[in-house]
Amino acid sequence: MRLARHPSRRLAAIAATLLAVTAGPAFAQPSDGLRERLYDWSDGVLVVAHRACHAPAPSRGMDRVAPENSLAALDRCVALGVDMVEIDVRRTADGALVILHDATVDRTTDGHGRVSEMTLAQVQALRLKGSDANEAPPTLEAFLAHAQGRILINLDVKEPIAEQVAQVVLDSEAAGQVLVKARPEAGAAPMADLPAYRSLAFMPMVGSVKGRALGAPADVAAMQVMAENRIPAIELCDLRRSEFKAVRAQARLSRVRLWSNALARKGFKGVVARARAGGAAADGRVTWRRLIDDGVSVIQTNRPAALLDYLDARGLRGAARPVVNAAL
């Protein structure tokens, strides 16, 4: 569906742009300014470490693997200068929130079983694989406390527990550093203004999920940028090229960032499809270049140190202006 055929939507998006220019986020900024770059679409490319910085970073003298979603991996991100860590939140049988990606603990710890069937005490008795620090899976509260004042945090909430997660974040001293996200349905009102999200930074995810389209992505984006609680970015999820261009137009009009995964089989179609095949090979310079040249300014990666090196070499950190390819 083309925006030109819907002048009312275009006017609404322009109104959202004026609001975005004059209004700040609905919460206080931390004193060290961690949030400013996220909300400034023109301030270089941001690096998001997928499940924190677990991969080796030989160019920075870090040769060993760290456990994903761990405090050790968080410390590595801070040392590297990564902008944001992405972590995964699940709930235990007794209602505690813990940082684990999988529904079971088998892959990442020395234990077995489903997180939802274990108590917090049982989870914390486990040890993360590859942890020199003898570390247990952290609680959300512990992770937020450890990150306070140091780095931005993106929460990938794996279960329908948004309200509980939001309350824990709001009760923490790191609330101003946290970005939450969710997928709006077609025609949904701005999700950033829902009770669970309106006091936090929120990012809508637009596109397909497991092959199912959730409405025309540009229409979804046009609605979400109208939130009173200004959004800093839109996450792109498996878009066709034409869909990406339409969403990009909305993002530029509203001066919000575009976020894409650089992981294998992630991001928008037409970029990863042209990248070299296979796992980490798709999370490399070919993909990064195409994403950035197409206007993406937040990249989630399993290789944050390598991406930082690449951005430094291209001069795309700090106050670098956004890349806008006029031919597209």
Which pLDDT score is estimated for 95?
Answer: 98
DSSP 135-195: PPPPBHHHHHHHHTTT-EEEEEE-SS-HHHHHHHHHHSTTGGGEEEEE-PPTTPPPGGGST
CA proximity to 136, closest of 125, 147, 144: 125
List C-alpha distances in Å: 142 to 122, 125, 292. Answer: 16, 15, 34
Taking the alpha carbons of 272, 277, 283, 285 in that order, is the dihedral positive or negative? negative
What CATH code would you report for 3-314?
A: 3.20.20.190
CB 191 within 8 A of CB 231: no
Q: Where are the domains of the chain?
A: 3-314
> Which pLDDT tens digit goes with each residue over 58-109?
989 998 999 999 999 999 999 999 999 999 999 999 999 999 999 999 999 9
Tell me the per-residue pLDDT of 105-143, one tens digit each, with 9 for 90 and over.
Answer: 999 999 999 999 999 999 999 999 976 768 999 999 999
Calculate the dihedral angle through the C-alpha atoms of 108, 49, 84, 121, rounding to the nearest 10 degrees.
0
CA 213 to chain centre: 20
pLDDT for res 319: 61
Please give the pLDDT value at position 42. Answer: 86
State residue 70's pLDDT score: 97
- Looking at residue 322, what is its pLDDT? 54
Say what the pLDDT of residue 20 is: 38
Whole-model pTM?
0.85
Q: How far is CA 198 from CA 42, 70, 128, in A?
A: 24, 28, 34
Task: Give the DSSP letter string of 4-70.
Answer: GG-HHHHHHHHHHHHHHHH---SSPPPTT-TTHHHH-TTS--EEEEETSS-S-BGGGTB-S---TTS
For the chain, 328 residues long, the average pLDDT of each consecutive 10-residue run is 40 41 38 78 94 93 93 96 97 98 97 98 95 87 96 96 96 95 92 94 88 82 96 94 94 96 60 40 84 94 95 83 49
- pLDDT for the residue 19: 40
